[in-house]
Amino acid sequence: TAGHGSRVHPDNAVTRLAEAVATLGRTDWPIELTDTTRQTVDALAALCGAASDSAGDGGAPDPDAVAAATGPAAGFLRSTFRTTTNPTGLEAGYKHNVIPDAASAAIDVRTLPGQEDLVLAEIQRIVGDDIVIDIAHRDIGLEVPFSGDLVEAMVAALGRHDPGVPVVPYLMGGGTDNKALAELGIAGYGFAPLRLPDDLDFTGMFHGVDERVPIDALVFGQRVLTDLLRTY
């Protein structure tokens, strides 16, 4: 209900939205490993010597502990083990002394493959029925098996330029044209080989003002990609 900013006003759209956004933004979504991320965790745990589960009984590796052992890549990896719901924008009102009748927020939601409808239903439960969810953009969560001739060719190309390098599959929280190709029955993979310094927070720079890679890393990637294209 709109009104003057000086009034006692319990029906305030900004207050209600702020409560919903804060609750959603603080939601701790559970870890749910897929076939790919289970391979990611197991392979990285073996490489990093990461801790087992919190019970300390030598069971399955704790995915977050494994991610932490990778250093700068931890934030990137943790977001592939669970759904994420990050508030990215707020809009309400036009004047400081007028209570608006509506308020809106933008939420960046990334779901695990096949969980889009379940996550939307859970978000509605979290924010409450008086909050209307309007989907600005919807896409699929995509996962393809880490196997086949193309995968073997990529692994072999890396091995020729960095002998003995371990190759570990992972999911990516970002967008990819492979989602469109998947609708045509084409299994695609992200393959951007870069040999990066251990202390470079490469994934942390995504969409940043200083996003970059070292020149020698780019040259390495060019060599591997050229090799793959000439031999596959």
Q: What is the pLDDT along the chain (232 residues), one digit of tens a residue?
A: 998 888 888 889 999 999 999 999 999 999 999 999 999 999 999 998 865 554 445 578 999 999 999 888 898 899 999 999 999 999 999 999 999 999 999 999 999 999 999 999 999 999 999 999 999 999 888 999 999 999 999 999 999 999 999 999 999 888 889 989 998 999 999 999 999 988 888 888 888 888 999 999 999 999 999 999 999 9
**What's the pLDDT score for residue 58?**
58
Q: Does 213 reside within a domain?
A: yes
Task: Calculate the dihedral angle through the C-alpha atoms of 118, 119, 125, 127, rounding to the nearest 10 degrees.
Answer: -160
Query: Looking at the structure, do residues 122 and 7 belong to the same domain, yes or no?
Result: yes
Q: Does 138 reside within a domain?
A: no
User: At residue 11, what is the residue type?
Assistant: D
User: H helices of the chain, where?
Assistant: 13-25, 35-48, 63-68, 74-78, 116-127, 149-161, 178-182, 215-231
CA-to-CA distance for 207 and 211, rounded, in angstroms? 7
For β-strands 84-92 and 98-99, DSSP reports them as unpaired
Q: Does 155 reside within a domain?
A: yes
**What's the pLDDT score for residue 54?**
46
Q: Any idea what the CATH number is for the domain that residue 16 is in?
A: 3.30.70.360
Query: Looking at the structure, do residues 106 and 155 belong to the same domain, yes or no?
Result: no
Residue 156: domain span = 149-231
Supply φ then ψ for residue 109, to 5 degrees: -115, 125
**What's the pLDDT score for residue 55?**
43
CA-to-CA distance for 36 and 213, rounded, in angstroms? 26
3-class state of residue 212 by DSSP = coil
Domain count, the chain: 2
Query: Looking at the structure, do residues 111 and 77 belong to the same domain, yes or no?
Result: yes
For residue 145, the cross-strand partners are none
Q: Does 10 reside within a domain?
A: yes
Can you give the pTM of this predicted structure?
Answer: 0.85
Q: Does 89 reside within a domain?
A: yes
Q: Does 143 reside within a domain?
A: no
